[in-house]
Structure 1
Amino acid sequence: MTGRGGTALLAAPAAVPDTPPRAHGGRALGLLRTARPRQWVKNVLVLAAPAAAGRLGSWQTGARLALVFALFTAAASAVYLLNDARDAEADRAHPAKCRRPVASGQVSTALATGTGILLGLGSATAAALLCGPLTAALLVAYLGMQVAYCVRLKHVLVVDLAVVATGFLMRAMIGGVALGIPLSRWFLITTGFGALFMVAAKRYSEAVQMEGAEGATRALLTQYTTGYLRFVWQLAAGTAVLGYCLWALEAGPVATSLPWRQLSVVAFVLGVLRYAVFADRGTAGAPEDVVLRDRPLAVIGLAWVTLYGMSVAGL
């Protein structure tokens, strides 16, 4: 429709660009968001082996563990940057992931890739120079495994679960390796299967929530059944509890008034049972969210830390 002089009164609607929404903030902020600061809490696991061995009482130990924490955080951030750069196209088609800095265009793919490579190489080099060859080897192994996961292994049934759980286990190992602490086989079994329990519980929750939906947040979820994932997290939980019990009972006699290490089994089992409530409901999301947001689980965790700490202190 036109008015006097042929001027258009009604213009055709402007075409809506088929691009994801651009996130607010500069490139530096975008890089920080891509590095997943919320995930850094997982790296507190570097304290696991030193705490279990009662080796947290000196400034030298604290400084070394702070360095290891920083290096592992840099390595994990490198993996997140490389992963988002690789998956940018797929993330743009996802309703939530399209807002990630790389997918939205806030951070270029080249910048994310370059920053990830620099962080990975820098963390490995610093570990070799400041922490020793074994620590550096473990960090390099973590980086190699995670890059392989991003490229291929996350599409392989069962292997994807094992790789993610092993990432947690490596976090728990590296603190002991950096301080030269011998790692008990029961410590490794408990930590490894405890990690598998949480990973499988998260996958199970994702599978339950996507039932009847049009798509999956993880393509591999369509190849798992909820029954199988339930079996995995139940098996892993049982193995972790068994490993912890054997670990607690194997400890040699200590001159304490009460068997605090053995009593800590009660708190550990209660913690597993409480976490399993969320797994069974299909609401066990990211492990750090479950642990930090559930007050009863936090209280149980504090009770376990107290009992185990009293054992280590020989009270």
Structure 2
Amino acid sequence: MAETLLHRQRTHRPPAPRPPSRRPGTLAGGLLRTARPKQWVKNLLVVAAPAAAGRLFSPHTAGRLVLVFVLFTACSAAVYLVNDARDAEADRAHPTKRHRPIASGRVPVSAAYGVAGVLAVLAPAAALRLTTPAVAVLLTAYLGMQLAYCVALKHVLVVDLVVVTTGFLMRAAAGGLALGIPLSRWFLITTGFGALFMVAAKRYSEAVQLAGTAGATRVLLTEYTTGYLRFVWQLAAGVAVLGYCLWALEEGGVAPTSLLPWRQLSVVAFVLAVLRYAVFADRGAAGEPEEVVLGDRALALIGLAWLAMYALAVANW
């Protein structure tokens, strides 16, 4: 009887764990996911300066902006790959980040570093050859700043907010540099503080959602207070609105060909958009800005109304 049981135990051993899947596309899919396709919408800021200058539909503009968009996307993908490779161990302790391809083991750390290195070299080189030296310098500076952020700066209070905000500002400036468009001081102020508003609201939301959760987020968030982060995004929102109002009222009058003062009227839509986004920030639900912007129907309608009035103001219709 004992021999029979022993025989059964030997013949009915649990199956050995299967090795990780090596299906074609698994590594490529993991790399693509690590590159954050949802975040690519941020790179559409490259059209901001040409749109503000009324040159969005001029000859050769579209092709040049698409190229700059692709180059910035390559640079940001390189940064995300390095960031996730460095944070793999910490991400495994996070309730959601542990599912990221590198943290879960789907993408080897060495592969992430290798692809990031290739993208970081090719993007500025392509910019130097296909656009302008200023764009190549800007992309190189962006890579250097963001890699420094991944290594050390994201652990420094306030500096982390400034670095992320500057990344948005660089995107907005890239389109103007690619086309030789002077950048207005009001454009830079509104874009910079508008970006700080969204970045601080994101940090505030993360701090609210993960408060008291040990090991679930980076240490820096525990050093910020929610009161301080709330103060930052409220201050940034106020400065962004002020900068936009100064731009809208700078010329004061209405162009002879304009039916209505579109420049001044666009202030209403801009302020409503800020107030609508602030609803999510106040609730601590602005942790993913792209999901807020693309997922809220009311905000989308306000954004379309602002875009229409802004375009009419730039075109002097």
Aligned to 2:202: 202
Shift of 1:96: 2.0
2:238 is the counterpart of 1:270 = no
Shift of 1:5: 5.2
CA–CA distance in 2 between the matches of 1:241 and 1:198?
13
2:312 is the counterpart of 1:310 = yes
Q: Which residues of 2 match residues 143-182 of structure 1 at below 5 A?
A: 143-182=143-182
My pick for the range that moved more, 207-216 or 266-275, is 207-216
CA contact 1:23–1:101 (8 Å) conserved in 2 = no
CA contact 2:50–2:181 (8 Å) conserved in 1 = yes
Kindly, what percent of the aligned residue pairs are identical? 69
Q: How many residues align?
A: 311
Deviations along 1:216-240, one digit per CA (max 9) or x if unpaired, are 4222110000100000000000000
CA–CA distance in 2 between the matches of 1:235 and 1:190?
13
Q: Which residues of 2 match residues 168-247 of structure 1 at below 5 A?
A: 168-247=168-247
CA contact 2:94–2:216 (8 Å) conserved in 1 = no
Aligned to 1:300: 302
2:281 is the counterpart of 1:279 = yes
| Structure 1 gap ranges (5+) | none
2:99 is the counterpart of 1:99 = yes
CA–CA distance in 2 between the matches of 1:43 and 1:152?
24
Q: Secondary structure at the match of 1:261?
A: helix
CA–CA distance in 1 between the matches of 2:77 and 2:304?
29
Aligned to 2:292: 290
Summarize the Cα distance change of 1:219–1:160 in structure 2 as closer, same or farther, 3 Å threshold. Answer: same
CA–CA distance in 2 between the matches of 1:211 and 1:88?
22
My pick for the range that moved more, 243-252 or 163-172, is 243-252
Aligned to 2:3: 4
CA–CA distance in 2 between the matches of 1:53 and 1:105?
47
Q: Secondary structure at the match of 1:103?
A: coil
Deviations along 1:189-218, one digit per CA (max 9) or x if unpaired, are 100000000110111111111223233422
Q: Which amino acid aligns with 1:174?
A: A
CA–CA distance in 2 between the matches of 1:251 and 1:168?
27
Q: Which residues of 2 match residues 10-25 of structure 1 at below 5 A?
A: none
4+ residue runs of structure 1 moved beyond 6 angstroms? Answer: 8-11, 21-24
Q: RMSD over aligned Cα, in angstroms?
A: 2.3
Q: Secondary structure at the match of 2:103?
A: helix
Summarize the Cα distance change of 1:53–1:252 in structure 2 as closer, same or farther, 3 Å threshold. Answer: farther
What is the TM-score with the length of structure 2 in the denominator? 0.92
Q: Which amino acid aligns with 2:82?
A: L
Q: Secondary structure at the match of 2:260?
A: coil
CA contact 1:23–1:104 (8 Å) conserved in 2 = no
What is the TM-score with the length of structure 1 in the denominator? 0.93
Q: Secondary structure at the match of 1:302?
A: helix
CA contact 1:216–1:222 (8 Å) conserved in 2 = no
| Structure 2 gap ranges (5+) | none
CA contact 1:189–1:243 (8 Å) conserved in 2 = yes
CA–CA distance in 2 between the matches of 1:188 and 1:108?
40
